[in-house]
Structure 1
């Protein structure tokens, strides 16, 4: 996990689990298309990191990185749970 500290600052790491929870809530919403969820998480990630760090380029970059980490973590979880090509 040390490799994350090379790209995402420690202050912004708290946003990753927040985005994971929000993503699961959006996924359970019946009228929410799956392809929209990463875009919503991207916007929320940028807004949350701007709220944490102030409005600057680094905050926007950190928002993109934490959103990517949240989507990546979700995909890793899905691949782990859905072994052998089973779709759930």
Structure 2
């Protein structure tokens, strides 16, 4: 899987957390399905930002900008990976 070359290994678990959170949102019918990917993307970016802040030394504006960039890009990639996991599970259970 090509996406695995870009997602930090420590953040792969976030994809599975997002998958289960998405399932819970669908079952609860708390929000419309069309908004779930946006919500999961936002949650993913926040979780990735927490990871970046916890693992980085940020002393300069350049380091801060890199931390923001890393959090956003990793958040998007992890949310995409979560969607990929969701689609694989749907296709496996889909009757031929």
TM-score (normalised: structure 1): 0.84
Computed over aligned residues only, the root mean square deviation of the Cα atoms, in angstroms, reads 1.5
Which structure ranks higher in relative contact order (CA pairs < 8 Å, sequence separation ≥ 6)?
Answer: 2
Distance in 2, matches of 1:20 and 1:59, equals 19
- The number of residue pairs the alignment matches comes to 83
Structure 2, unpaired ranges of 5+: 54-66
SS of residue in 2 equivalent to 1:8: coil
SS of residue in 2 equivalent to 1:83: coil
Distance in 2, matches of 1:78 and 1:45, equals 21
CA contact (8 A) 2:3 2:77 kept: no
Residue 68 (str. 1) matches residue 80 (str. 2)? yes
In the other structure, the counterpart of 1:48 is 47
Following superposition, the deviation at residue 13 of structure 1 comes to 1.1
Following superposition, the deviation at residue 5 of structure 1 comes to 3.6
Distance in 1, matches of 2:72 and 2:15, equals 14
Residue 33 (str. 1) matches residue 45 (str. 2)? no
